[in-house]
Amino acid sequence: MKTLYFSLAALFATSINFTVSAQVNSARNPIIFADVPDMSMIRVGDTYYMSSTTMHMSPGVPIMKSKDLINWQIVNYAYDILDNVDAFTLNNGKNAYGKGTWASSIRYYNGAYYVSTFSQTTEKTYIYSTKDIEKGPWKEISFNPSLHDNTLFFDDDGRIYMIYGNIKLRIVELNADLSGPMSGTDQVLIENTSAPSGTDSGLGEGSQLFKVKGKYYLFNITWPRGGMRTVVVHRADKITGQWEGKLALQDKGIAQGGLIDTPDGKWFAYLFRDYGSVGRIPYLVPVKWEDGWPVLGIDGKVPDNLDLPASKGLIPGIVASDEFNRRKGELALPLVWQWNHNPDSNLWSVTKRKGYLRLTTGRIDTVFLSARNTLTQRTFGPACSGSTSIDISNMKDGDFAGLALLQRKYGLIGVRFNNGAKSIVMVNAQSGRPVEVQSVPLAQKTVYLKAECDFNDRTDTGYFYYSLDGKSWTSIGSQLKMEYSMPHFMGYRFGLFNYSTKTQGGFVDFDWFHIGDQITK
């Protein structure tokens, strides 16, 4: 990794004021109540590593670490920037929303870590490798074509394969140096991977391949028409087949993932569930083995409680408050932060003013979703809040800066500088287009902004507030009916933003960003 991100030790140095509910003696599902989809997982000794999908965000392909399968922290990313094409830099009317990189596959082989992924935006397949998964550096290999939902697999004889595709799955052997597919090896592996759940399905993807006691096990997700997201498993004695399949789990739409075991011999399936606007949230499902097959769940159901250690709190390694204070030797941003598309590094800083994040405008943008340098992190359930303090003294005419709930149907609370006057405004884009719902004149240089999210029972509602003293909060604008929309393909994110509609060069200073699990509604 480049020096943009600092270690987890520094991340935990930030102050996080969670109100933690009474602890239970065992872990509970979901194991992370936040958008962590398309997981791939390995265990190396007593440590687990997991990769996930963040698509258009930069840096990309987060790498998370756990000692108990429950308490996870982000320790790295596979890449800082995938490419500098217009779609990633939000230039010439292009964007990578909902694209970028999708489902990854993480592997450990002969002392090295490997992460494979693919991109519809660049039409390439990527393989990243490193000897040190937490510190890097990563080596990148890319090749054409883009192999959809590929699973990377190192076999016992040293041969390397990828299985990929949707419904009709294919297998290809890779060159020993991973530089691309070996000529003449690409072939159909399974004609219809969705068949065990019924033939009337438009989905049979998300491949994850494992080898257990000499047999090969391939996990996939299907979605039978009129039904729910479903796990199917195929097994074979040889990697090229013959393959036989079974429906493995059909409960609450929890699907897509694979197998993981613990040092003491327990087995689990790691899967995720679509859960409205918070995104796709991870579950663990107990697994037992019968007649050489993995049997998922308890009587076919996903349990609420798990025979694993209880969570230590609310995902502090996945989201975190930030005071924007950096000690000597610390890197600029904690790993919980990601930019919405590639950042312009000349236009942000945590050093130009000590203890502040400065965002400077560098071009003209007409709408929020086309603006660069929006700094984001996940929202989380069942409820959460994000708040910030902004010094708006150095805005220029046409600037708009503040706090966002980011998805296609976004909501904004911020300060707009227009024709020499500043106002606190709330913008609601739940109709598909931004509407300025309310405006309040502002005559001071510092303002406090807050957004709250209620995901309880898929309420999926956002609320917005402002304060002039940081103590007394006033509701502003309208409620945002949050919606997980496919064009963005991501759960809602908190976002700190500043963009200009008229004049370049204005800037704002964010003093802090605080998260919490309590809301006023």
DSSP 368-425: GGG-S--EEEE--SSEEEEEEEEE-TT--TTEEEEEEEESSS-EEEEEEEETTEEEEE
Residue-level pLDDT at 25: 74
Q: With bands split at pLDDT 50, 70 and 90, how would you rate the model's confidence at 73?
A: very high
Query: What CATH architecture applies to the domain 338-516?
Result: Sandwich (2.60)
Write out pLDDT tens, residues 30-63. Answer: 999 999 999 999 999 999 999 999 999 999 999 9
CA nearest neighbour of 262 among 15, 37, 68: 68
Side-chain-side CA neighbours of 245 within 13 Å: the count stands at: 24
* Contact of 251 with 273, CB cutoff 8 Å: no
Other CB atoms within a 10 A radius of the CB of residue 514 amount to: 18
137: preceding bond cis by omega (within 30 degrees): yes
Helix (H) or strand (E) holding 65, with range, is: strand 60-66
Please tell me the pTM assigned to this model.
0.94
**29-306 and 338-516: identical CATH topology:** no
* pLDDT computed for residue 428 by the predictor: 98
pLDDT for 411-468, tens place per residue?
999 999 999 999 999 999 999 999 999 999 999 999 999 999 999 999 999 999 999 9
Model pLDDT for residues 273-294, shown as the tens digit of each residue: 999 999 999 999 999 999 999 9
Q: H/E/C letters for each residue in 259-285?
A: EEECCCCCEEEEEEEECHHHCEEEEEE
pLDDT at 325 over 70: yes
- Identify any residues that bridge with 245 across adjacent strands, giving them in sequence order: 234
Domain ranges of the chain: 29-306, 338-516
Taking the CA atoms of the chain, what radius of gyration do you get in angstroms? Answer: 23
CA 282 to centroid of chain Cα atoms? 11
> Look-up: residue for tokens 């963009």?
499
Range name among 18-22, 112-116, 228-232 with the lowest pLDDT average: 18-22
Peptide bond between residue 382 and the one before it cis (omega within 30 degrees of 0)? yes
| Token digits of residue 86 | 């217009």
Average pLDDT, the chain: 94
% residues pLDDT > 70 (the chain): 95
Whole-angstrom distance, CA of residue 383 vs CA of residue 3: 33
Mean pLDDT of 113-137: 97
Superfamily of domain 29-306 in CATH is Glycosyl hydrolase domain; family 43 (2.115.10.20)
